[in-house]
Amino acid sequence: MIITEDQLKRIIDDRVRVQLEEQRNAKISRGWLQLRSDIADYCKSVSHCESDPVYSKVQNAIYLPIKYALKLGRIDEVRDDQIDRARQIFNVIKLIRSETAVNMRIR
């Protein structure tokens, strides 16, 4: 079977289109959606509002260790089987921050 250049381009275009659709429709873990909401609530509680630069700094300070520990390229790639570990990391960060705040008040 001989494939023309136009047919080959169509086949490649179709495969690329399918892959892009799969990426766009990738399911985000329900557990991650809940944890992400909890992290957002925490970030809001320690900053004035979502548009406050402190919000994004706090969020990044939480997201980056989670991404690193779970070897993720994007934070939304957290799977359900990784949620417990991600939540542990989040809780440790909150604990460290609260202990630091207490120590700062004592001085």
> Each residue of 57-78: pLDDT tens digit?
999 999 999 999 999 999 999 9
Among 103, 104, 94, 96, CA closest to 41: 94
Query: Is 80 a residue whose pLDDT tops 60?
Result: yes
For residue 18, tell me if it sits in a domain.
no
Instruction: Name the pTM for this structure.
Output: 0.69
Report whether pLDDT(8) > 70. Answer: yes
**Whole-number pLDDT of residue 86:** 98
Task: Spell out the residues 6+ positions from residue 66 whose beta carbon is closer than 8 angstroms to its own.
Answer: 72, 75, 78, 86, 89, 90
**DSSP letters spanning 37-99:** HHHHHHHHHHSS-TTSHHHHHHHHHHHHHHHHHHT-SSGGG--GGGHHHHHHHHHHHHHHHHH
Q: Does the residue 14 lie in any domain?
A: no
Give the domain range for residue 32: 28-106
pLDDT over 60 (residue 20): yes
Residue 16 lies in a domain: no
Q: Does a structural domain hold residue 102?
A: yes
Task: Quote the tokens at residue 40.
Answer: 């957002």
98 inside domain: yes
Q: Residue written as tokens 């136009």?
A: 6
Distance in angstroms (rounded) separating the CA atoms of residues 61 and 85:
16
| Domain annotation covers residue 17 | no
Task: Report the number of distinct structural domains present in the chain.
Answer: 1
Give residue 29's region: left, alpha or beta (phi > 0; psi -120 to 50): beta
